[in-house]
């Protein structure tokens, strides 16, 4: 798998034809494939990292972003199918965790396929009702204030009107994906689930991460790491060490 093979939906920063497993990674709201650009350097050599590049960012900047989860999952399901000829796993942070979860259910339902493991990070279990009002349709000034509170948008972007004009449509679309999501009951997944959370994340609690347990018929692990909601960036080295260990164990099971 190489970037030239999949210019639209997935980027493999270090193509690895000998890999025994592909790890597909999905970004948080406003994020891009760039978040995962160096991950393959810190994970087992038998794992090929494939980062999702969703419309409206990076090399797809000129494409309109998708603002609802169902069409996004359908598009991803069609795009990913040619690359599932070897074992695979999913990792997603925040919005990306929701995408990874629903894509797993879509592939099971439509193609009788599924990941070897699902890694969800920085996201409450999907069955937990939202208690906060949606923000994607707020007036401009209030929307920017919410972004400042979430602490996920760089200050240099928030303070640059021209940059904000570029990123706000993308951010509104991504928040709409999460804000309009409606959970539907289904059977638990056949793969194991590992949930990661930040110990200083005041919105995604340990209890809300523990609730992912009901979505697997296999093993469940909860791992709390230092940091707030964006520990995936601030504590990346700790997260990658944990993933290295988990993927190494997964590769041993896949080999048999």
CA separation (Å) from 249 to 83, 86, 126, 220? 22, 17, 27, 14
Edge-first strand listing for the sheet containing 220-225: 10-11, 47-52, 21-26, 88-93, 117-121, 192-198, 220-225
Tokens 């999702």 map to which residue? 52
| pLDDT computed for residue 92 by the predictor | 98
Tens digit of each residue's pLDDT (9 = 90 or more) over 15-45:
988 899 999 999 999 899 999 999 999 999 9
Candidate list 94, 104, 121, 242, residue with the active-site label: 94
Q: What is the pLDDT of residues 85-139, one digit of tens each?
A: 999 999 999 999 999 999 999 999 999 999 999 999 999 999 999 888 899 999 9
Count helices and strands (H / E) in the chain.
Answer: 8, 7
Distance CA 26, CA 95 (A): 8
E-state strands within 35-168 = 47-52, 88-93, 117-121
Q: Where are the domains of the chain?
A: 10-128+185-255
pLDDT digit string, tens, across residues 149-174: 776 666 666 666 677 777 889 999 99
Give the architecture (CATH level 2) of 10-128+185-255: 3-Layer(aba) Sandwich (3.40)
Per the annotation, the verdict on 94 as an active-site residue is yes
Decide if 177 contacts 187 (C-beta within 8 A). no
């Amino acid at each position: 798998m190489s970037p030239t093979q999949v210019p639209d939906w997935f980027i493999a920063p270090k193509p690895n034809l000998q890999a025994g497993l592909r790890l597909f990674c999905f970004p948080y709201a406003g994020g891009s494939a760039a978040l995962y650009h160096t991950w393959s350097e810190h994970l087992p050599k038998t794992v090929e990292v494939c980062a999702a590049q969703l419309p409206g960012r990076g090399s797809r900047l000129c494409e309109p972003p998708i603002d609802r989860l169902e069409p996004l999952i359908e598009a991803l399901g069609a795009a990913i199918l040619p690359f599932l000829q070897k074992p695979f796993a999913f990792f997603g942070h925040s919005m990306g965790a929701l995408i990874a979860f629903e894509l797993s259910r879509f592939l099971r339902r439509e193609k009788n396929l599924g990941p070897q493991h699902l890694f969800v990070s920085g996201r409450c279990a999907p069955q937990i009702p939202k208690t906060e009002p949606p923000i994607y349709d707020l007036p401009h000034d209030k929307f920017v204030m919410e972004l400042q509170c979430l602490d996920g948008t760089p200050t240099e972007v928030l303070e640059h009107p021209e940059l904000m004009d570029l990123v706000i449509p993308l951010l509104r679309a991504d928040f709409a994906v999460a804000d309009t999501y409606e959970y539907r009951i289904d059977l638990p997944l056949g793969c194991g689930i590992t949930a990661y959370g930040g110990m200083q994340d005041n919105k995604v609690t340990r209890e809300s991460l523990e609730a992912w347990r009901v979505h697997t018929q296999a093993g469940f692990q909860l791992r709390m790491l230092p940091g707030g909601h964006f520990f995936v960036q601030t504590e990346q080295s700790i997260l990658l060490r944990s993933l290295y260990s988990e993927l190494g164990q997964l590769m041993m099971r896949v080999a048999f």
